[in-house]
Structure 1
Amino acid sequence: MAWLFVANLGLWMAIYAPIQILLPQQAEMLDRADKVVVFGVVTGVGAVVTMLVVPLIGVLSDRTTSRFGRRHPWTLAGSVLGAVGLVVLANAPSVAVMTLGWSLVQAGIGGMLAALTSTVPDRVPVGQRAQVGGLIGISQMLGTVAGGVLVVVVDDLPRSYLACAAVVVIGALLFVLMTPDTQLVRKPVRLTLWISPREHPDFAWAWLGHFMINLGNALGTLYLLFFLGDVVKHPSPDQGLLQLMALYGVALTAGAVLFGARSDRTGRRKPYVYLASFVMALAALLLVVWPTWVSALVAAPLLGVGFGIYTAVAIALLTQVLPSATDRAKDLGVLNIANALPQAVAPLLASAILTGLGGYRGLFAASALATGLAAWVISRVRSVV
């Protein structure tokens, strides 16, 4: 679990340092007038690539009979492809090349995430999965904060991309070298990406709830750097974002550790999802009513603790509704579409909202609505309490 934590830390640094800081800065450098549109197009295309690649990697991982294991080859290969994409971004002279680079990053890191996530149902008993989910949530938080710190310390856009590339490969390599992997002797007969909502309704409801939570989170966080600069008028939006990320991270850690352990002790999952949904919606509504720097300082830890609770419990809940033990990576890949699809949908929605449906107040209101609806959707899951 320690090495899984390290691998996830490198993965999230390679995702969040670009998406929170580097990509917005690069979009502004390449096209200051249309920076929001450029950022939306780049992240949207990357999200579509993730949706296509992750289930495919899941299928391949479930059917891999390599002597090196069924998950490790894809973990390492994904990290290398993601690093290549980061190198492309470091030298991108145009929006087209920037889009290509981020697409490679999303394909590689998405494949790595599919393989790493599959190790949880492969190896972790149900009664410990929320605690493991908490650890993964902490790695995500630390990756967010550490990625921001890395960018500030390096203080150079191309070199920051290269540093992220090194980090993700090192994390994957350590996990592959230091942990065993199960070896599949015979490939499963079944080969399909389709999971019938009629036959597996709990899986369908869990997928939709996961999508809504991630959509709300994407709407609330993707444009924070622009929000700090354009609305709050923060004198240094980069530094302000780093402060918010630090507050978010501490709160996320507390939520993931405390509530993940409690969920495992009680065996209950849904009440904690309801709590997470409420707290995250409250954070977004705070920015609707009071879009100031002080409000952001309050909203950041609220969002952090809510997402920390959800991240811990979501791993347990989602792995408990998987249709088949033999297709875990593929099924988790389908679930991971609910992570990636909001990254494609959110920029389109955000562009419409920011230009004609209430600006940043409307954007945060939409975030609260999506997050609140997630609680109702998860209540439809019957096989998990």
Structure 2
Amino acid sequence: MTDVRPPHQIVAVDGEPASRPRVGRLLALLLPATAAMYALFNGISAVILPVQVEAVDPASKVGNLALLTTLAAVASMVAIPAGGAISDRTRSRFGRRTPWIAAAAVVSAVACILMGLADNLPGLIATTVILWFAANFYSGAITAILPDRIPEDRRGVASAVIGMGTPIGIVVGVQVASRAGQLTAYAVIALVLLVTTALLLFGAKEGSARDLPAPVRNRGRAGVPFRSFFAAFTVRDFRLAFLSRFLLFASYFVVNGYLFYTLQDHIGTGNVPGGDVAAAVSTLLTLSIVVWVLAANVAGWIADKVDRRKLFVGVSALGVAASMTIPLAMPTWTGMLVYAACLGASIGTYFAIDLAVMSLVLPDAGSEGRDLGILQVATGLPQLLAGAVGGAVISWFGGYPALFVFGSLCAVASGVLMLRIRCIR
């Protein structure tokens, strides 16, 4: 059920329209909560879980990690829309989102601790599915705060502020995961999620939802709304944008999802500083994120000045492809450092302009939220499927070099598709 109030009459806790200071405080508290969520996803998937999987069965680590990430993907694909849809229909004195955000944070924290204690494959499977479902349910509910409580004239700034949660969360999560022991890392990640969630929910309280109109039940034919929901795919440029985005993120997440094992088995544990693979992963991701943020700030400004957004996004995708050839030509620690810096510059440029490009291919002004949400699937789905796809590529096509070839080809295809879009420059 969509909130029927006009966007500039968003109600605050006291029943009055939300003021700008309230929005500022909400954004200031949303950023750390969002960063904590991404710290959980990336710290666990990039560092802690691969170590646990290897400890359980070293000989089957690639296949087992692929199994776990596939199951996590299934749980996530159900949880993300469920978090938004169920909270949409909630009518409590604490609001629509707050009860579910709080519950999901608590379940996620408990699941983190249980996952840290798991020492066999069935235990890892159960706790991974529970954690990924709860954390993605949290994601679906917390993301809905943006249209609920941010006026339209401030949503651009809000998106930029909240978007910074991704790189911050990656850096924090990977640093914690690589510097602390297994159970300690899980406990710290759980505690940070609980604390930042509590600060958000108590520091920027949501108004009561009891007076909102009751959720409307759809009594029409099921097939008609289903087809209309995906009507944007009938437009050529929208399809190209979706496919381009899907392939770019498939390239990025499939390769990075196996970064730990790539360093361990392709580069060699003895060839990374101190023989510490977890610390090496942290170093590479941190380097990549720092360059990412710097490139994003510069590229966005230049693209606006020259009005060539499509060109910048297409070329940045080709830059990702070129970056992934570096570990093939230089399978050394130095080569991986160069790869991380070049990848960060390319993906940072892409992120700086991608959302602007996506907003320009939306075919229906009355359904922009829906269609942007569909384009977000092209970001989330590759991330969820990355483990299974990467495991298949490694197993079927000759190991880790094939992973970089796969990533490079996907990025090239992404760039070519982006450059074929007609409605933007």
| 1:176 counterpart (194, 201, 212) | 201
In the other structure, the counterpart of 1:157 is 182
206-215 vs 259-268, which moves further: 259-268
Deviation at 1:263, TM superposition (A): 5.7
Identity across the alignment (%): 25
For 1:255, give the aligned amino acid. Answer: A
In 2, are the aligned partners of 1:276 and 1:309 still within 8 Å (CA)?
yes
1:110-129 equivalences in 2 (<5 Å): 110-121=136-147, 123=150, 125=152, 129=156
1:292–1:127 Cα change, 3 Å: farther
1:336-375 equivalences in 2 (<5 Å): 336-375=376-415
Deviation at 1:145, TM superposition (A): 1.8
Deviation at 1:62, TM superposition (A): 3.7
| 1:306 counterpart (343, 346, 351) | 346
Q: Secondary structure at the match of 1:33?
A: helix
300-309 vs 117-126, which moves further: 117-126
In 1, are the aligned partners of 2:40 and 2:189 still within 8 Å (CA)?
yes
In 2, are the aligned partners of 1:244 and 1:297 still within 8 Å (CA)?
yes
Q: Distance in 2 between matches of 1:324 and 1:72?
A: 30
In the other structure, the counterpart of 2:24 is none
In the other structure, the counterpart of 1:208 is 243
Deviation at 1:312, TM superposition (A): 3.8
| 1:59 counterpart (85, 90, 108) | 85
Deviation at 1:216, TM superposition (A): 0.6
In the other structure, the counterpart of 1:222 is 257
1:301–1:31 Cα change, 3 Å: same
1:274-313 equivalences in 2 (<5 Å): 274-313=314-353
Deviation at 1:300, TM superposition (A): 0.7
347-356 vs 222-231, which moves further: 347-356
For 1:40, give the aligned amino acid. Answer: A
Q: Secondary structure at the match of 2:105?
A: helix
Q: Secondary structure at the match of 2:58?
A: coil
In 1, are the aligned partners of 2:317 and 2:414 still within 8 Å (CA)?
yes
Cα deviation code 1:38-83 (max 9, x no counterpart): 1111111101211122123232344444443344444333322322
138-147 vs 180-189, which moves further: 180-189
Q: Distance in 1 between matches of 2:110 and 2:51?
A: 20
Q: Distance in 1 between matches of 2:62 and 2:238?
A: 35
In 2, are the aligned partners of 1:79 and 1:168 still within 8 Å (CA)?
yes
1:308-323 equivalences in 2 (<5 Å): 308-318=348-358, 321=362
Q: Secondary structure at the match of 2:118?
A: coil
Cα deviation code 1:200-247 (max 9, x no counterpart): 666554443332222111122011111111121222211211211221
In 1, are the aligned partners of 2:288 and 2:344 still within 8 Å (CA)?
yes
Q: Distance in 2 between matches of 1:366 and 1:221?
A: 12
For 1:98, give the aligned amino acid. Answer: L
Deviation at 1:126, TM superposition (A): 7.6
Deviation at 1:360, TM superposition (A): 1.6
For 1:360, give the aligned amino acid. Answer: Y
Which fold has the larger relative contact order, with Cα–Cα distance below 8 Å and residues 6 or more apart in sequence?
1
In the other structure, the counterpart of 2:7 is none
| 2:212 counterpart (185, 188, 212) | 185
Deviation at 1:85, TM superposition (A): 2.3
In the other structure, the counterpart of 1:240 is 280
Uncovered stretches (5+) of structure 1, i.e. residues with no partner: none
Q: Secondary structure at the match of 2:48?
A: helix
In the other structure, the counterpart of 2:291 is 251
In the other structure, the counterpart of 1:19 is 45
- Rg larger for: 2
Q: Secondary structure at the match of 1:141?
A: helix
In 2, are the aligned partners of 1:54 and 1:337 still within 8 Å (CA)?
no
2:231 corresponds to 1:196: yes
RMSD over aligned Cα atoms? 3.2
Q: Distance in 2 between matches of 1:256 and 1:72?
A: 32
In the other structure, the counterpart of 1:97 is 123
Q: Secondary structure at the match of 2:325?
A: helix
Q: Secondary structure at the match of 2:32?
A: helix
Cα deviation code 1:239-278 (max 9, x no counterpart): 2112112211211211233334556778875344224312
Uncovered stretches (5+) of structure 2, i.e. residues with no partner: 1-26
In 1, are the aligned partners of 2:394 and 2:400 still within 8 Å (CA)?
yes
Q: Distance in 2 between matches of 1:178 and 1:161?
A: 25
1:328-343 equivalences in 2 (<5 Å): 328=369, 334-343=374-383
Q: Secondary structure at the match of 2:231?
A: coil
Q: Distance in 1 between matches of 2:417 and 2:161?
A: 25
Deviation at 1:304, TM superposition (A): 1.7
Q: Secondary structure at the match of 2:212?
A: coil
Q: Distance in 1 between matches of 2:241 and 2:91?
A: 30
Cα deviation code 1:281-301 (max 9, x no counterpart): 221122222222111101112
Q: Aligned pairs, how many? A: 382
352-361 vs 132-141, which moves further: 132-141
Cα deviation code 1:5-32 (max 9, x no counterpart): 1111111111111111100000011111
Q: Distance in 2 between matches of 1:326 and 1:40?
A: 36
Q: Secondary structure at the match of 1:69?
A: coil
For 1:41, give the aligned amino acid. Answer: L
In the other structure, the counterpart of 1:143 is 169
For 2:261, give the aligned amino acid. Answer: F
Q: Secondary structure at the match of 2:59?
A: coil
State the TM-score, normalizing by the size of structure 2: 0.78
Q: Distance in 2 between matches of 1:322 and 1:96?
A: 46
In the other structure, the counterpart of 1:41 is 67
